[in-house]
Amino acid sequence: MDAFIDWIYTTRLSSFVNDYRWVWPICESLHFCALTVLAGTVGLFDLRVLGLVKGIAPGALHATLRWGVVAFVVSAITGVMFISGASEQYFYNDAFRLKVVFLVLMGANAALFYWREFAGIRALGPRDDAPRSAKLIAAASLVFLVGVMLCGRMLTFFRPPFFHGP
Partner 1 sequence: MMAFFASIEQNPIGTWVRESPSLLAFPFILFLHTLGLAMLAGLNIGLDAWLLGRRKLPPFELANIYRVMWVGFGINALSGVVLLAAYPAKALTNWVFFAKLLCIVVALWVLQRLKGELAIAAGAAERDVSAHARRLAFASLLLWTATIFAGRLLAYTHHILLVSEGLS
Report, in Å, the least distance between residue 43 CB and partner 1: 6
Rounded Cα distance between 13 and 20, Å, is 11
Report, in Å, the least distance between residue 21 CB and partner 1: 9
Query: Looking at beta carbons only, is 6 or 26 nearer to partner 1?
Result: 26
Rounded Cα distance between 113 and 115, Å, is 5
Query: Looking at beta carbons only, is 7 or 32 nearer to partner 1?
Result: 32
Could you tell me if 41 and 65 are in contact, meaning their C-beta atoms sit under 8 angstroms apart? Answer: yes
Could you tell me if 144 and 102 are in contact, meaning their C-beta atoms sit under 8 angstroms apart? Answer: yes
First to last CA, the chain: 21
Could you tell me if 141 and 42 are in contact, meaning their C-beta atoms sit under 8 angstroms apart? Answer: yes
Report, in Å, the least distance between residue 40 CB and partner 1: 3
Contact footprint for partner 1 (CB under 8 A): 25, 28-29, 32-33, 35-41, 43-45, 47, 52-57, 60-61, 63-64, 67, 126, 145-146, 149-150, 152-154, 157
Report, in Å, the least distance between residue 20 CB and partner 1: 13
Backbone angles phi, psi at 56, to 5 degrees: -115, 130
Query: Looking at beta carbons only, is 8 or 149 nearer to partner 1?
Result: 149
Query: Looking at beta carbons only, is 8 or 118 nearer to partner 1?
Result: 118
Report, in Å, the least distance between residue 48 CB and partner 1: 9
Rounded Cα distance between 14 and 133, Å, is 44
Rounded Cα distance between 50 and 129, Å, is 8
Query: Looking at beta carbons only, is 116 or 166 nearer to partner 1?
Result: 166
